[in-house]
Amino acid sequence: MAQDQLRYQSGFGNEYATEAVPGSLPQGRNSPQRAPHDLYPELVSGTAFTAPRHEQRRSWMYRRQPSVVAGRYQPYAQPLWTTGGDREIALAPEPLRWHPMPLDGAELDFVDGMRTLAANGDADAQTGVGSLVYVAGKSMGRRAFVNADGELLVVPQQGRLLITTELGVLDVAPGEIALLPRGLAFKVELPDTDAGAGLSRGYVCENYGAQFRLPELGPIGSNGLANARDFLAPVAAYEEAAGPYELIKKFGGRFWRAPARGTPFNVVAWHGNLAPVKYDTKNFMTIGSISFDHPDPSIFTVLTSPSDTPGTANCDFVIFPPRWLVMEDTFRPPWYHRNLMSEFMGLVYGEYDAKPGGFKPGGASLHNAMVPHGPDEEAFEKASSVDLKPQKLDNTLAFMFESRYRFIPTAWALNTAPLDHDYADCWAGLKDQFKP
């Protein structure tokens, strides 16, 4: 991979402009009668034409062939990547947890190694999200994937991802995230796996609803949480190697395949504000209490997908990064609670302070709306008696996909994935300690 393909542009939702060949980006208009270098202009719209200006997302591409040049699509089997919640599954109002996903997908690439753990909503209605995991053992090579159902928020847990998109290349390591817009073609290479470092594993949020954006800051002010300048978009970089491609497309919850005579990654220049981006969670400006009490986890929101109810998200992406705890006379881990929102959690590395033993990197948990949860017995006993000195929670990164809609686990998640059937036992030792 040429080094100049891994340069980036800074900002979130910026009006980017980039060209791989000087003079290939038209000036003064988007669609001239003949584009420079005889390229084809093509518009990709991530929002409706009449969306409010501040919500508009679109980019103009100047490419060697338009994306319409492809063969006819035929059905493609990917039965474990399902879409939306299956209301036929009877789900008890109980907490769920999964052990780390087995590293057993040596023959699978990023698309074929994807599994839906839980989902809600409806992609056609443009509401809800899917919470997925992937285990992959090989790069996609001459295959490309297009998701017409939603944008993808990718959270690598093990192994770097080299993501080639129509608009350029992102190099994404564990601790970083990637946001891939709905409808853009991409492929994923696994440089660590290819070098013999083991399989790649991670989490994905498939967002069927409103596009992710930075949350409002309110009383926090003009700086804090995830700053726009720390998001990185790729520069234009087209693929020169000739030869056929296979296009895989997810459309209406089903998968399709088509042959293509050449690469879909043939964009020589582009401009606009619809772009894939990556973000390093080490740049997150963590906000916390410096007096007493444990604040609501909303202060850890990186990105939000709003719904039609203000303040009640289709999906919030929340992280729990390294941070200082200094609160006085305070039970410092998350408190016991029942929440209107449903919470799907994963652990990238380290230890989660509310579940120091049972929650492992590569695993997941699910606490649906109004399902009680909180620290396990070990965490409660330790936090209730520890000397409250300033404490650094270090070498840890957990995250949460939080949604207003109930997550429904898939049949695969309930019957095949490594479900922890003893999860509820972690609270069994919490006794009535009332002393009147």
Paired tokens of 84: 């939306």
User: Is 176 annotated for ligand binding?
Assistant: no
Amino acid in the structure at residue 225:
L
The amino acid at residue 193 is T
Residue-level pLDDT at 6:
86
Asked if residue 309 lies in contact with residue 209, where contact means CB atoms within 8 angstroms, the answer is no
Per-residue pLDDT at 1: 42
Q: Which residues are catalytic?
A: 294
pLDDT digits (tens, 9 = 90+) for 126-155: 999 999 999 999 999 999 999 999 999 999
Task: Specify which residues 178 forms β-bridges with.
Answer: 154, 278
The residues spanned by each domain of the chain are 73-96+103-265+275-281, 284-423
Instruction: Give pLDDT < 50 ranges for the chain.
Output: 1-4
pLDDT at res. 3: 43
Q: Residue 262 in contact with residue 245, Cβ under 8 Å?
A: yes
Cα gap 267→164, rounded to integer Å? 12
| Alpha carbon of residue 402 to chain centroid | 12
Q: Matching CATH topology for 73-96+103-265+275-281 and 284-423?
A: yes
Asked if residue 337 belongs to a known ligand binding site, the reply is yes
271 is in an annotated binding site: no
| pLDDT at res. 357 | 74
Instruction: Give the per-residue pLDDT at 36.
Output: 97
pTM listed for this prediction = 0.95
- Using the CB atoms, write b or e for 97-132: b if 16+ within 10 Å: bbbbbebebeebbbbbbbbbbbbbbbbeeebbbbbb
CB atoms under 10 Å from CB of 203, counted, come to: 25
Which H or E run contains 391? strand 391-393
What pLDDT is stored for residue 352 in this prediction? 86
Is 8 assigned to a binding site? no
What's domain 73-96+103-265+275-281's architecture?
A: Sandwich (2.60)
Mention every residue, 6+ apart, whose C-beta is less than 8 A from residue 247: 70, 143, 144, 145, 146, 185, 257, 258, 259, 260, 264
What local confidence, expressed as pLDDT, does residue 356 receive?
75
What is the pLDDT, as a whole number, of residue 2?
A: 47
State how far the Cα of 128 lies from the Cα of 121, in Å rounded to an integer.
Answer: 4
Helix (H) or strand (E) run with residue 377 in it = helix 377-385
What is the rounded CA–CA span in Å between residue 16 and residue 14? 6
Buried b (16+ CB within 10 A) or exposed e, 160-197: bbbbbbbbbbbbbebebbbbbbbbbbbbbbbbbbeeee
Q: Which fold has domain 284-423?
A: Jelly Rolls (2.60.120)
